[in-house]
Copies of this chain bind each other. A is one copy, B any other.
């Protein structure tokens, strides 16, 4: 089984990798690529039975889906698929498949890297050594993960992986999640309330998926309650947090905030947050490992192959 025509919108050879880009040739009789803002999109949709789309640059709305009478499959080049009208697609028996969990380890490892960088002041240490100063005298106020109360809000794939690593470091790991996960508690982690996490934990990791229910999840009341001296790591969208309340805590200088979704900040938010030395801002590099990228590409093309073979994977609708 092959598709008659694969149309890619906003998906390039560089975003998919040459190897996977070329593998598409075996899956279709014909392929066409258009940019996200091409005037030809509607015309090209007419005879496409497969559309591959980058939802960060292109929104696949109901009326556009209706322009593609032969469409059977929409492949989304991301975990997020909110920009594709998947309910409308389902009603027309069009499968929408995404790429879940490809970056679990990449994000969890980055969380520990950025945490240890902060706790041990690695950047300052390297800079000092570059200046030829090899004294450790000003580094005796640094902290370990071992023995710390390590609270994870949201025990999904990334949260669970972080719990496993934190346990190996010897942290006292606790979590809150929408659904309690008793199986994972056997590994030595405790289920407590979100309020207890922010009040008691020295290290707090926010690992919730962002949606309408989780918007502003760490609200002003909770942010005020964060333990003095705590480190809050958020490698998810900043919309999970009341940034105004957070900035007040950052001004007090009694918590540290580590984040990587900086590309999604307004320029005003970015400039406000950057003022604070205890706000550690990364580009969104949590997911950008070689390994995660290959996994993403593999799942994306694998989804298409599996659909053609009659056993769709990662279908979201």
**Chain A residues near B (Cβ < 8 Å):** 105-106, 109-110, 112-114, 116-117, 119-123, 125-126, 128-130, 132-136, 139-147, 164-165, 167-170, 262-263, 265, 270, 274, 280-285, 288-293
Contact = CB atoms under 8 A, between A and B. Distances in A.
Contacts of A106: 144
A283 B109 contact: no
A142 B289 contact: yes
Contact of A262 (B134, B144, B283): B134
Given A142-B285, A169-B165, A263 B122 contact: no
A289 to B, nearest CB: 5
Nearest to A292: B144
Given A126-B282, A263-B136, A120 B116 contact: no
A288 B168 contact: no
A109 to B, nearest CB: 6
A280 B117 CA distance: 14
A133 to B, nearest CB: 7
Contacts of A142: 285, 288-290
Contacts of A283: 125, 128-129, 133-136, 139
7 contacts: A109-B116, A113-B122, A120-B285, A120-B289, A122-B122, A139-B283, A139-B288
A78 to B, nearest CB: 14
A56 B133 CA distance: 19
B109 A263 contact: no
A122 B270 CA distance: 19
A291 B168 contact: no
A262 B129 CA distance: 8
Contacts of A130: 274, 281
A238 to B, nearest CB: 12
Contacts of A133: 283
A124 to B, nearest CB: 10
Contacts of A145: 109
A289 B283 CA distance: 28
Contact of A169 (B109, B122, B285, B289): B109
A129 B167 contact: no
A134 B290 contact: no
A129 B119 CA distance: 19
Contacts of A170: 105
A167 B164 CA distance: 10
Contacts of A132: 270, 274
B289 A135 contact: no
Contacts of A164: 168
Contacts of A280: 126
Contact of A109 (B120, B121, B123, B290): B120
Nearest to A148: B291
A121 B144 CA distance: 21
A122 B117 contact: yes
A282 B133 CA distance: 9
A309 to B, nearest CB: 27
A229 to B, nearest CB: 12
